[in-house]
Amino acid sequence: MKIIYYIIPVIAGWILDLIIGDPHCIYHPVRLIGWLIGKLDKMLYKDTDSNRKKYYKGMLLWVLVMLATGGVTTAGLYIFYRINVTAGLIAESVMCYQLIAAKSLKDESMKVYYRLKENNIEKARYAVSMIVGRDTEKLDETGITKAAVETVAENTSDGIAAPLFYIVFFGAAGGFMYKAVNTMDSMIGYKNDKYMYFGRFAAKSDDVVNFIPARLASWIMIAATGVVQIFSKDKKYNMKDALRIYRRDKHNHSSPNSAHTESVCAGALGVRLAGDNYYFGKLVKKPYIGDDSRPVEIEDIKRVNILLYVTTFLCIIMAVAVRIIIFLGRMCV
């Protein structure tokens, strides 16, 4: 196989995301994975089960979703590549496109930005509620802005770096299996009365698969901060502080991975993120991330999106480079 075949799906997928973004379609593969999780949740979960039984049923759900996702995507790619290489490359490129979420992250967070610029707090609350898990009904302008910045920062890992990591080493099917783990965590990985045991395996597996990508994404975002600091007229970016806050605050979260890119962003922009928030009507206490050097402002939503796009570009360069190395390594065997 020619070396170009190793890099076409990654580059084409990124370009498609850059141009088109995530289509709001019920038949999007990730939404279908979510549909399957929801169906299995209803079938398997019983409130009367013991905690041990809930845990094993949650594990069974995880196995079934992974088998379905891996089986369908691998079989699909096999069929298209059996037709011919061009069909296979087109199919894998489309799959990679469906896994990269840079444009949708930017578009959804910018909806929050525009509602805030219009001083329409109610619509801004609604817009941010579409991309965060916290309660948004009582958030003020600062709270809404922080929520938007935090979700873009955190999802730079989950929505771009991590899928690319698994695409590079395991192809598009590996990327979809990662997405299945990530979607299970977002749907059943809660520490509430219902999912404390049923969703525990899903939550822990998400911690495992994101361990390396979250750390890689953080260092790439630090480099991206340096690039933006050099070329941007906006003097709010600071690579030195991005590195300092990352080293200090990267573990300021109950999840072992969630604070990594968020701490880089907080340091890069010189703002304080995280802290206490309400989830499902209950106050959840969380440590702060970053220094309170200046107040969070609406323009920080634009700034974090610039970081998102530069980080994505650097991730693509790294992904292509690693794919080339893998190809050359196989040629030498």
Kindly report, residue by residue over 118-144, the tens digit of the pLDDT: 999 999 999 999 999 888 898 999 999
| Per-residue pLDDT at 319 | 95
CB atoms within 10 A of CB 61: 25
Please give the helix or strand (H or E) that residue 273 lies within, else none: strand 273-274
**Residue 131 in 3-state DSSP?**
coil
Query: pLDDT tens digits for 205-237?
Result: 999 999 999 999 999 999 999 999 999 999 899
332 Cβ partners below 8 Å, 6+ apart?
none
Helix (H) or strand (E) holding 283: strand 282-284
Place of tokens 């069909």: 87
**pTM reported for the whole predicted model:** 0.93
Q: What are phi and psi of 251, to 5 degrees?
A: -105, 15
Tell me how many helices (H) and strands (E) the chain has.
13, 4
Looking from the CA of 157 toward its CB, the CA atoms found within 13 Å total 28
Please give the Cα distance from 182 to 12 (Å, whole number).
23
C-alpha span between 27 and 21 (Å, rounded): 15
Question: Tens digit of pLDDT for each residue in 255-272?
Answer: 899 899 999 999 999 999
Residue bearing the bigger pLDDT, 25 or 176? 176
Structure-token pair, residue 175 = 């990327």
How much is the pLDDT for 148?
A: 96
* Residue partners of 81: CB distance under 8 A and separation at least 6: 87, 88, 91
**Cα 289 to chain centroid, rounded:** 19
Residue 286: name the closest of 112, 134, 148 by CA: 134
- pLDDT band with cut points at 50, 70 and 90 for residue 26: low
Do residues 188 and 202 make contact, with C-beta atoms less than 8 angstroms apart? yes
Looking at residue 303, its amino acid is: R
- The amino acid occupying position 46 is K
Q: Which two tokens stand for residue 111?
A: 């909806």
